[in-house]
Amino acid sequence: MSVLRIHDLKVEFPGRKSTFVAVHGVTLEVEAGKILGVVGESGAGKSTVGNAVIGLLQEPGRIGEGEVFLHGQRIDNLPDKQKRLLRGRRIGMIFQDPLTSLDPLQTIESQLTETIRIHLKLSASEASARAIELLDAVGIPDPDIRIKQYPHQFSGGMRQRVVIALALCAEPEVVIADEPTTALDVSIQAQILELMKKLCADRNVSMVVITHDMGVIADITDHVAVMYRGKLVEYGETDQVLGRPQHPYTQSLISAVPRPDIRVERFPMVDYIEEAGTPTKHIDIATHWLGKARAYDKPEGALVKIRDLSMRFVTRASIVPSKRRFLDAVKNVSFDIHEGETFGLVGESGSGKSTIARLITGLFHPTGGSIDFAGTELTSLTDRRQVLAMRRQMQMIFQDPYSSLNARMRVRSIIAEPIKFHRLAASNTEVRQIVDDLLDHVGLGIAAGDKFPHEFSGGQRQRISIARALATRPRFLICDEPTSALDVSIQAQILNLLKDLQEELGLTMLFISHDLAVIRQMCNRIGVMRHGELCEVADCDALFDNPQHPYTKQLLELMPSMELLSRANLQESGPTGAPPAP
Amino acid sequence: MRRLLQAMIVMLVVALLAFTLFRFVGDPINQMVGIETSIEEREALRERLGLNDPIPVQFARFIQSAVQFDFGTSYQFRQPVSDLFLKRIPATLELSFASAVFALVVGIPMGIYAGLNRESWVSKVFLSVSLVGISLPTFFIGILLIFFFSVNLQWLPSFGRGEVVEIGSWWTTGFLTASGLKALILPSITLGLYQMTLIMRLIRAEMLEVIRTDYIKFARARGLPDRLVHFRHALKNTLVPVITITGLQLGAIIAFATITETVFQWPGMGLMFLQAVQNVDIPIMSAYLLLTAFLFVSINFVVDILYFLIDPRLRIERA
Amino acid sequence: MSNVSTDKTETAAAGMLARMVDSDIFHSFLKSKVTVIAAIGTAVLFLLAFFAPLIAPHDPFDLATISILDARVPPMWMEYADPRFVLGTDDQGRDLLSGIFYGMRISLIVGFCSVIAAAILGITLGLVAGYMGGRVDAVIMRIADIQLTFPAILIALLIDGAARGIFGALDREVFSFYILIFSLALSFWVQYARTVRGSTMVEKNKEYVQAARVIGIPAIIIMVRHILPNVTGPVLVIATINLALAIVTEATLSFLGVGMPPTQPSLGTLIAIGNDFLYSGEWWIAIFPGLALALLVLNVNLLGDWLRDALNPKLR
């Protein structure tokens, strides 16, 4: 018998003009001790399902139709007070961001014991003992000491463990976890998933895991429900759904997931996205403005040579030298990037990979070492004209599609700005023509120029960013996590676009990502970073097949296994060592 | 420790301002002697007062005497400024204290209520009243109160402190007599009303913001009752920003007392300061500047310590 | 050709108007009846003040039409009233209603000038402090911190006092206007600077600014073209609330006798004059200008309040 059963659930948000239906007739059930995954891209309504079950829909949302049963008892129409008694006692909840989920001004103990004593008839000392036991169960060392501490004294992963302890502290029958590992690093994510799986089995707790990440689904769920635009498109046992997807949306979603184990030439086109644009007229790169002035001198050796690069940030300034605190974000890093290749930098948050991108583009000034670009030493460059010439040759694409475009400028002015600033066109008419061509070429269409950035989706904005970066006719392009804020199907398109552009224009790329699978799809050579140091540099295939450094091995082991996923539609590409011939 | 250093620097900067005011705005000699005094006599006086010494020496001497509570002689009254202030400080402090208590005791509960019950009509009334409270200038509130309660109804006095009792050698209090307390009512409401509305609106805004955070959502998802969520989690987190602003507002009360004292002819240092501004009595002005600055800095210092007690993040960083 | 382009701009303008009418901000404006009333009220008061010379029944500055015999006439619905003076007259026989129109005019001029001056000073310093950071930032913000410990009214009083000391010999009639604006602007710049600095520090770390830097665009252009337009929202809110505050502060200073002189009376000056007659029963001389002042400030505050909520994404 199922523990939690959702029948024909419809959730609506009445708005000013019309009522928005976020969830359409969803029917699901979870059995005791099993894990159900709800997967979908942004806007699929997956979080809304979780909030509706626990009775915490955001205003003005409401359950329009359908029923929710807990052990056969209907709970969606209970009065508020009884719903509250259900929360925590019978249904637990885990939120995405462990950094903001805990009250910063209360000790862990006070937050645990208050929850325990609300739900269970226990004395203060019994509650305290139980709290310590729970912390131990979720894998927090020295629980009797740590329990007296405040949330800020815990790391992100440890805080998520505390959050899990809080969700479990009154022995609920079901736990709803909304993107429980999205805010965490890969290695921490693996540990937390392991813990959740173990707790479910040990305590016979059912769990609903809401996520966008196919890897998480493949890793821990028994059943999976795929949602698209508020509707349930496919529902079944996990290996069935992932291995032999029936619905075309599931099929295209799965084929868009980058795999660590195989490299594909291009991601297959996904039908289920409207925004996918293709250029209406193909410009001939050889004769077009974009392809002109590309006759650079061949550099001696590598295009970019980085030697002993170091960056130290002051985290606490003080007049007394002994009281100053520093953070060594980048420590003596050296590597080369050859003309025409894509060099990948991979590492967890805080490993210094983005800092390197900002050092190369001159956003930060290094504390030590040298950066040689096409034979020019960049760090000692002072002449403004030379600096500008270098800036023009290297451009950057940023991570966040929402903040990387100036919200107060029209798209046309955003893309025209670098052309005008570097005087790359003779007249305003020409600038206009170039901007139109660029917009068309990145698949947005000419009409996009007159709009403002907020009228576009995340993937489209990333295309605008790419057009802006191309507008200086760069030879070296730095992509700093260009797709990590995007849904997986959009990510596939953007990666395709970047691959095409590189091929057409013979660009050299530095591609930065925390996601080894994405790195594998894009790069010829890869550098692995940790705590500001470069652990290992190797050719792509060599790194995945035969990692040398222990950290690289660890990273590869922790990757969620994607072997379950169907391989239909995928075209494998050949070995990836050599850069494409220019 | 670092805070104390900062406070000292602030005081030093203010002292420099006060000194500049004292030394360079208007010629002190002109104010002290009659028109008939000869140039030689003026020069002698100048020498005697040390006005020909290098500026840093003069500044050091200024600070030295200020620390000893010596601010020179008032141009208008020909009396030592410190004596004038001593006589008037109790009146201003009692008035400020009464209005601060009024502002806090009324403003905080109203703010909490309006923050928690955003849609209720009572909070809407609170909010409208507070907006009127902010829009009415202090002096006009005083005039209206006088007009209704003193001129028309004749319930309460419109000026002065009433009967006062002397405590010790220089403190006088109006708290111990019926007429003193009656005289305190209108001025302290006038003075406290603006701060009260500000505190209420601030607490409401902070409450609304905190209620939307993840940890409040998570507390609800754990099934904690509203009472716990609101008072243990939300209110405590609201306090951190509220305390800073409230501290600043209490400082502002002492400054705004100037206006209230003028309207009610309250014999405090604000009234004296205002007369000094009108008559360009520089020694009183610079002394007032230093005294209020000292009060503000002390209040801020206390606020910082309170911060420390509330926020464990600050506490543990030190330990 | 030109026909086509005007056509284009017209449709573009119409589209923009339609978008504005359709936007959430405009909708929240219409939804709040109080705000609509406040907007109309503000507009009416501004117009009355602006066209005071045309609308006012008397010219309070024209000595020829003022007679001391008309002094302290009560408003028209009371005994001994004179139908020529709707709201009665003051101690010199000036029509109170006209005095209020002209007084409001002066209050508003002082208010607007000081808000603009404070905004220019504050925005510039805030942008520079926020973008440059480091020592420049530390110096500007320490000054702001110190100043913030002191309430604006006290600073204005001190500056006014000091200015009197310096310009003692000069013509006060002319100078009090400028001294007033100067002291108000110096008291209010901090708020702009702090807000703009805060937003600038957030904006400067956003990737669009980094993208502009990667392109090679110099700091001054980034500040003016990229950051400034993105920090105007909060500035607008502060400016509106500050206008109300500046009007109140000006009135307070004038009431205390250190603002506008009786020959160029602002609302505060009128109330100060009337305050002397409160006890002798001629209440209208103080109360009517006071009510006008309260009404003006209340309306502006209501608009500012709404603007703050409408522009605050957190409260949506």
Q: Which of C27, C208, C215 sits opposite A391 (nearest CB)?
A: C215
- For residue B154, the SS3 value is coil
In this prediction, residue C314 carries a pLDDT of 46
**Residues C90-118: tens digit of each pLDDT:** 777 677 777 888 888 888 888 899 999 99
- Residue A150 lies inside a defined structural domain of this protein: yes
Q: Which residues of B touch C257 (CB under 8 A)?
A: 278
The string of pLDDT tens digits covering residues A135-174 is 998 888 899 889 988 888 888 888 989 999 999 888 899 9
Residue C237: which of C156, C302, C292, C316 has the closest Cα? C302
A56 in the same domain as A127: yes
Residue C214 with chain A: CB contacts under 8 Å: 361-363, 391, 394-396
Beta strands in B77-170 (DSSP E): 165-167
CATH 1.20.1250.20 correct for C25-315: no
Same domain, A312 and A248: no
Q: Do B147 and C278 touch (CB under 8 A)?
A: yes
Distance CA A302, CA A455 (A): 41
**A419 & A528 share domain:** yes
Place of tokens 């709404």: C306
Q: B119, B218, B310, B317: which to substitute to probe chain A, counting the most A Cβ within 10 Å?
A: B218
**CA dist list (Å): C181 to B289, B310, C102:** 21, 41, 18
Half-sphere exposure of residue A491: CA atoms within 13 angstroms, side-chain side: 28
Q: Is C279 on the interface with B (CB under 8 A)?
A: yes
Chain C partners of A405 at a C-beta cutoff of 8 Å?
A: 208
- Are A204 and A321 contained in the same domain? no
Q: Which residues of A touch C211 (CB under 8 A)?
A: 396, 398, 404, 465, 468
Closest CA to A475 of A416, A389, A413: A389
How many other β-carbons are positioned within 10 Å of the β-carbon of residue C34? 14
| pLDDT attached to residue A529 | 93
Spatial distance between the Cα atoms of B265 and B261, rounded to a whole number of angstroms:
5
CA distance A147 to A192: 19
- Which H or E element spans position A394? strand A394-397
The two structure tokens encoding residue C289: 């200008």
CA C84 to mean position of chain CA atoms: 32
Instruction: For chain B, say whether A319 makes contact (Cβ under 8 Å).
Output: no
Lowest mean pLDDT among A350-354, B20-24, C9-13, C118-122: C9-13
Place of tokens 């269970």: A120
How far apart CA A455 and CA A438 sit, in angstroms, is 18
> What distance in Å separates the CA atoms of residue A446 and residue A451, rounded to the nearest whole number?
10
| Average pLDDT of chain B to the nearest whole number | 80
Between C267-275 and C284-311, two packed helices, what is the crossing angle to 10 degrees?
140
Nearest to C216 among A16, A392, A468 (CB): A392
Q: How far is A386 from chain B (nearest CA, A)?
A: 44
Least CB-CB distance to A118: which of B224, B311, B316?
B224
- C87 in reach of chain B (CB within 8 A): no
Assess A85–B contact: CB distance below 8 Å, yes or no.
yes
> Is residue B13 assigned to a domain?
no
**Residue A62, H or E segment:** strand A62-70
Q: Is A511 helix (H, G, I), strand (E, B) or coil?
A: strand
Cβ distance B243 to B81 under 8 Å?
no
Query: Is the model's pLDDT at B33 over the cut of 70?
Result: no
Q: How much is the pTM?
A: 0.79
Report yes or no on B290 lying in a domain: no
DSSP code for C68: G
Residue C12: closest C-alpha in chain A: A450
Structure tokens belonging to residue C269:
């000056």
Chains near C with 3+ CB pairs less than 8 A apart are A, B
Strand partners, A227: A232
> What 3-state DSSP class applies to A404?
coil
CA dist., res. A253 & res. A225, Å (int): 13
Helix C207-215 to helix A411-421 angle (10° resolution) is: 30
**Cβ(A221)–Cβ(A193) under 8 Å?**
no
Q: Which of B131, B144, B292 sits opposite C301 (nearest CB)?
A: B131
**Do B215 and A101 count as a contact with CB atoms less than 8 A apart?**
yes
Residue B156 lies in a domain: yes
Judged by CB atoms closer than 8 Å, whether chains meet at B213 and A100 is answered as yes
CA distance A98 to A185: 12
How many independent structural domains does chain A possess?
2
Q: What is the DSSP letter of A506?
A: T
Q: Does B138 touch chain C (CB under 8 A)?
A: yes
How high is the pLDDT of residue A9?
92
Give rounded-to-5 percent helix, strand, coil for chain A.
35, 25, 40
Handedness of CA A136, A139, A142, A145 (dihedral sign): negative
Look at the block and give the residue holding tokens 């007084």. C103
Residues 232-261 of B with CB under 8 A from C: 248, 251-252, 255-256, 258-259
Q: How far is B232 from chain C (nearest CA, A)?
A: 23
Residue A424 domain-assigned (yes or no): yes
Q: Is B309 on the interface with A (CB under 8 A)?
A: no
Is B212–C257 a contact, with Cβ atoms under 8 angstroms apart?
A: no
The domain in which residue A225 lies consists of 4-255
Secondary structure E strands in chain B: 165-167, 171-173
Q: Considering only CB atoms, which residues of chain A are within 8 Å of chain C?
A: 16, 358, 361-363, 387-388, 391-392, 394-396, 398-400, 403-409, 417-418, 421-422, 465, 468, 472
Nearest partner of A95 among A179, A152, A193, judged by Cα: A179
**CB distance A406 to C203 below 8 Å:** no
Domain presence at residue B70: no
Kindly tell me if the per-residue pLDDT of B249 is higher than 70: yes
Q: Are residues A338 and A191 in the same domain?
A: no
Interchain contact B231–A (C-beta under 8 A): no
B33 within some domain: no
| pLDDT greater at residue C297 or residue A573 | C297
Residues 6 or more apart whose Cβ sits within 8 Å of residue C168: B26, B280
B131/C166 touch (CB, cutoff 8 Å), yes or no: no
Burial of A388 (C-beta count, 10 Å sphere; 0-12/13-18/19+):
middle
Regarding whether A306 and A251 lie in a shared domain, the answer is: no
Residue A541 lies in a domain: yes
Q: Tell me the residues of chain B between 5 and 34 that have a Cβ less than 8 Å away from chain C.
A: 10, 13-14, 21, 25-26
Please count the residues of chain B: 319
How far apart CA A334 and CA A336 sit, in angstroms, is 7
* pLDDT band, residue C8 (cuts 50/70/90): very low
What average pLDDT score do residues B176-188 get? 80
Residue C31 confidence (pLDDT) above 80: no
Tell me the HSE value of A151 on the side-chain side, using a 13 A CA sphere: 22
Are residues A318 and A426 located together in one domain of the fold? yes
Neighbours of C3 (CB within 10 A): 7
Cβ within 8 Å of residue C192, ≥6 positions away: C118, C119, C121, C122, C123, C126, C235, C238, C239
Identify the closest residue of chain B to A52 by CA–CA distance.
B221
ipTM entry:
0.79
Looking at A255, A270, A288, the residue that finishes a domain is A255
Phi, psi of A7 (to 5 degrees): -120, 120
- Same domain flag for A215 and A311: no
Residues of C in Cβ contact (< 8 Å) with A398: 207, 210-211
| A411 is a domain residue | yes
| Burial zone of C225 (CB within 10 Å; 0-12 exposed, 13-18 middle, 19+ buried) | middle
B222·A92 Cβ contact <8 A: yes
* Chain B nearest CA to A353, separation (Å): 29
The minimal CB distance from C207 to the residues A394, A398, A472 is found for: A398
Q: What is the CA radius of gyration of chain B?
A: 24
Pairing of strands A476-480, A304-316: unpaired
Q: Which of B139, B211, B265, B280 to mutate to test the interface with C (most CBs of C within 10 A)?
A: B139
Contact (CB, 8 A) for C148 and B248: yes
A101 touches chain B (CB under 8 A): yes
Name the closest residue on chain B to residue A56, using Cα atoms: B221
Neighbours of A387 (CB within 10 A): 14
- Alpha-carbon gap: C238 to the closest alpha carbon of chain B (Å): 15
Spell out the alpha helix ranges (H) of A338-427: 353-360, 384-393, 411-421
Task: Test A398 with C211 for CB contact under 8 angstroms.
Answer: yes
Residue C73 DSSP one-character state: P
Residue in A314, A408, A409, A461 to test binding to C, most C beta-carbons within 10 Å: A408
Cα B58 from Cα B23, distance rounded (Å): 9
Of residues C146, C268, C298, nearest to B13 (C-beta): C146
Q: Which residue has the tokens 């976020």?
A: A22
Question: How many CB atoms sit inside 10 A of residue A136's CB?
Answer: 15
Q: What is the pLDDT along chain A (582 residues), one digit of tens a residue?
A: 688 999 999 999 887 778 888 898 899 999 988 999 999 888 788 889 998 988 888 878 888 888 999 988 898 888 888 888 888 888 999 988 888 888 888 889 999 999 998 888 889 999 999 999 999 988 888 998 899 888 888 888 889 899 999 998 888 999 999 988 888 888 888 888 999 998 888 888 999 999 988 888 988 999 999 998 888 999 999 989 988 888 888 888 888 888 887 788 778 766 665 555 565 566 676 677 777 766 676 777 788 999 999 998 887 766 677 777 788 889 999 999 998 899 999 998 888 899 999 999 988 889 989 999 888 888 888 888 888 888 888 999 998 888 889 888 899 999 999 999 988 888 888 999 899 988 988 888 888 888 888 888 888 899 999 999 999 889 899 999 998 888 888 888 889 889 988 888 888 999 999 988 899 889 999 999 999 999 999 998 899 888 999 999 988 888 877 777 777 667 665 554 444 443
Residue B221 and residue A95: Cβ atoms within 8 Å? yes
Q: What is the pLDDT of residues B128-177, one digit of tens each?
A: 888 888 888 888 888 888 888 877 777 777 777 777 777 777 777 777 77
Are the Cβ atoms of B135 and C301 closer than 8 angstroms?
yes
Instruction: Using CA coordinates, name the residue in chain C closest to B149.
Output: C279
Q: Are residues A325 and A394 in the same domain?
A: yes
**Which tens digits make up the pLDDT trace of A371-412?**
998 888 888 888 888 888 888 889 999 988 888 898 888 999
Residue A43 inside a domain? The answer is: yes
Flag if B143 and C148 touch (Cβ within 8 Å): no
Domain count, chain B: 1
Q: Which chains reach chain B with 3 or more Cβ–Cβ distances below 8 angstroms?
A: A, C
- Rounded CA separation B311/A19 (Å): 43
Structure token pair of residue B260: 């209230």
**Given an 8 Å threshold on Cβ–Cβ distance, is C148 in contact with B248?**
yes
Cα A13 to the center of its chain, rounded Å: 28
Range of lowest pLDDT (B255-264, B277-286, C112-121) = B277-286
**Cα B269 to chain center, whole Å?**
12
Coil, strand, or helix at residue A317?
Answer: coil
Q: Return the C-alpha torsion angle A370, A371, A376, A377, nearest 10.
A: -30
Kindly tell me if the per-residue pLDDT of B318 is higher than 60: no
Cβ count within 10 A of residue C116: 14
The CA distance from B247 to the nearest CA of chain A, in Å, is 21
CB of C106 within 8 Å of a chain B CB? The answer is no
Query: Which residues in chain B are closer than 8 Å to C164, comparing Cβ atoms?
Result: 277, 280
Q: Are residues A468 and A551 in the same domain?
A: yes
| pLDDT at residue C62, rounded to an integer | 67
Residues of C in contact with B137 (CB under 8 A): 248, 251-252, 255, 268, 293-294, 297
What is the torsion angle, in degrees rounded to the nearest 10, for the CA atoms of residue B87, residue B88, residue B90 and residue B91? 140
Q: Is residue A198 part of a domain?
A: yes
Q: Does the pLDDT at position C315 exceed 50?
A: no
Please report the pLDDT score of residue A273 as a whole number.
55
Q: Whole-angstrom Cα distance, residue B220 to residue A88?
A: 9
Give the mean pLDDT of C188-203: 88
In a domain, B159, yes or no: yes
Which H or E run includes C192? helix C172-204
Residue B32 lies in a domain: no
Identify how many contiguous H helices and E strands chain B contains and give both numbers: 14, 2
CATH number for the domain spanning B188: value is 1.10.3720.10
Question: Taking a C-beta distance cutoff of 8 angstroms, is the pair A437, A364 a contact?
Answer: no
A372 domain-assigned: yes
The dihedral formed by the CA atoms of B36, B38, B39 and B45, expressed in degrees to the nearest 10:
-90
| A565 occurs within a structural domain | no
